[in-house]
């Protein structure tokens, strides 16, 4: 069901790109915006592991330091029939984890100091199974496609406004009333695209929960892990710069301080709903 939702949402976003590009700039406008956005996001996708690991100053964990963690990751990778990802440590007291990398052969799983101290063996295995599910389900690629489409729509709206196209259709028709409708369209279209992008991200989180719990048979352990991590993050949220907050979608739960606006534009589903779904699987 979550896979179907993702396909539908990507289809809607594609339709918005084509429709907005054609309306504001014709076929060339749509192609230019899509091309520019694709180039930017392709670079982010191709070098995602290096960018994120450097941003958080993550260090690779030698097997001699965490032999049990490496054994668990090896076993899970074999279950998924994929190469074992590289394992990194992020020096962060908040318990969390994320996966990155452009494909299975270039995948990375990162864990924080906090998660190693907080979770027991089964709970940590549930979290690792969730992260490997993101890699196996190609969520990084799907997220890049969604970001490309959302970015293209934003570029089209900006081109329409700054290029003077906003007032063109109204002047040609002699109907100044169309100016207001075009202005609304320019403002609302990128917002709708962003909401669709976030909806895709939330759908992939549900799918990773489900896939990881089924593969490792750790539905209850993953539910407990999410509950523990959420409680700690709620009491001690991170206050971060925008460049760090833009990576919130990577983590298994959002570690940053929440507000009404961030709740509306959340990259993660409600934690209570995720836990309830996992416990129904049990």
Q: 184 pLDDT exceeds 90?
A: no
Chain-wide mean pLDDT for the chain? 79
- Tell me the pLDDT tens digit for each residue of 30-42: 676 667 666 766 6
One DSSP character per residue, 159-194 reads: HHHHTTTTTHHHHHHT-THHHHHHHHHHHHHHHHHH
Q: 160 pLDDT exceeds 70?
A: no
The neighbouring-strand residues paired with 60 are 88
Please give the model's pTM, rounded to 2 decimal places: 0.75
Task: Please state the domain count of the chain.
Answer: 1
Domain of residue 197 covers 2-281
Decide: helix, strand or coil at residue 10: helix
Residues recognised as catalytic: 131
- Tell me the pLDDT tens digit for each residue of 55-96: 899 999 999 999 999 999 999 999 999 999 999 999 999 999
Query: What is the spatial distance between Cα 227 and Cα 246, in angstroms, rounded to a whole number?
Result: 23
**Residue 275: which pLDDT band, with cuts at 50, 70 and 90?**
very high
């Amino acid at each position: 069901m979550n896979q179907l939702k993702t396909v539908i949402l990507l289809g809607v976003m594609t339709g918005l790109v084509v429709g907005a590009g054609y309306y504001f700039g014709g076929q060339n406008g749509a192609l230019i915006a899509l091309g520019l956005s694709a180039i930017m996001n392709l670079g982010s996708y191709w070098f995602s592991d290096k960018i994120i690991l450097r941003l958080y100053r993550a260090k690779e964990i030698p097997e001699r330091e965490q032999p049990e963690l490496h054994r668990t990751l090896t076993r899970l990778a074999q279950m998924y029939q994929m190469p074992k990802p590289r394992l990194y440590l992020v020096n962060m007291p908040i318990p969390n984890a994320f996966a990155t990398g452009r494909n299975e052969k270039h995948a990375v799983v990162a864990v924080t100091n906090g998660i190693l101290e907080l979770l027991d063996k089964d709970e940590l295995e549930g979290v690792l199974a969730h992260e490997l599910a993101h890699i196996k389900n190609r969520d990084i690629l799907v997220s890049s496609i969604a970001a490309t489409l959302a970015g293209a729509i934003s570029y089209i709206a900006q081109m329409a406004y700054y290029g003077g196209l906003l007032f063109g259709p109204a002047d040609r028709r002699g109907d100044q009333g169309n100016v207001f409708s075009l202005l609304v369209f320019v403002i609302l279209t990128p917002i709708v695209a962003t909401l669709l992008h976030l909806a895709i991200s939330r759908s992939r989180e549900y799918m990773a929960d489900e896939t990881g719990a089924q593969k490792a048979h750790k539905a209850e352990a993953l539910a407990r892990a999410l509950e523990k991590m959420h409680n700690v993050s709620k009491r001690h949220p991170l206050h971060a710069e925008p460049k760090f907050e833009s990576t919130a979608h990577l983590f298994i739960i959002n570690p940053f301080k929440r507000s009404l606006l961030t709740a509306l534009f959340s990259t993660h589903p409600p934690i209570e709903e995720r836990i309830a779904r996992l416990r129904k699987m049990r």
